[in-house]
Structure 1
Amino acid sequence: MTQQTKTVKVQLVRSPIGCKEDHRATVRGLGLRKVNSVRELQDTPAVRGMINKIDYLVRIV
């Protein structure tokens, strides 16, 4: 029996220009570069916390 790691796809839908510096750092920490870029990340509490912090900039696909 194999264990599957849960993932979550995150898309950057707004530009972080004009946002707080730590919010911009969070966007970069998630690996998002340009608007509409998508990353598939492991669904961990740390990643969920980062997504919640910048929820107004991203969308879960």
Structure 2
Amino acid sequence: MAEKQIKITLIHSVAGSLPKQRKTVKALGLGKMHSSVVHAATPATLGMVRTVAHLVKVEEM
């Protein structure tokens, strides 16, 4: 069975956010505003998304 895929888009700037949140955004593969990446919806990825939920938009693929 194929894993669910999620599309993560950076919609807010990381300027002014905590260093841990900046590192999490970078670890997700997001750099500039409105950049998007597709990841498998694993517990680790979902935990990272939850950490920066106020900075990103998540869509199911």
User: 1:31 matched to which residue of 2?
Assistant: 29
Q: Secondary structure at the match of 2:39?
A: strand
Taking the aligned partners of 1:5 and 1:19, their CA distance within structure 2 comes to 31
User: 2:39 matched to which residue of 1?
Assistant: 41
Identity %: 34
Tell me by how many angstroms 1:5 deviates: 2.3
Taking the aligned partners of 2:2 and 2:44, their CA distance within structure 1 comes to 18
Q: Secondary structure at the match of 1:40?
A: strand
TM-score, normalisation: structure 2: 0.91
TM-score, normalisation: structure 1: 0.91
Q: How many residue pairs get matched?
A: 59
Taking the aligned partners of 2:56 and 2:3, their CA distance within structure 1 comes to 22
Any stretches of 5+ residues in structure 2 without a counterpart? Answer: none
Q: Which has more radius of gyration?
A: 1
Q: CA RMSD in A?
A: 0.7
Amino acid at match of 2:9: Q
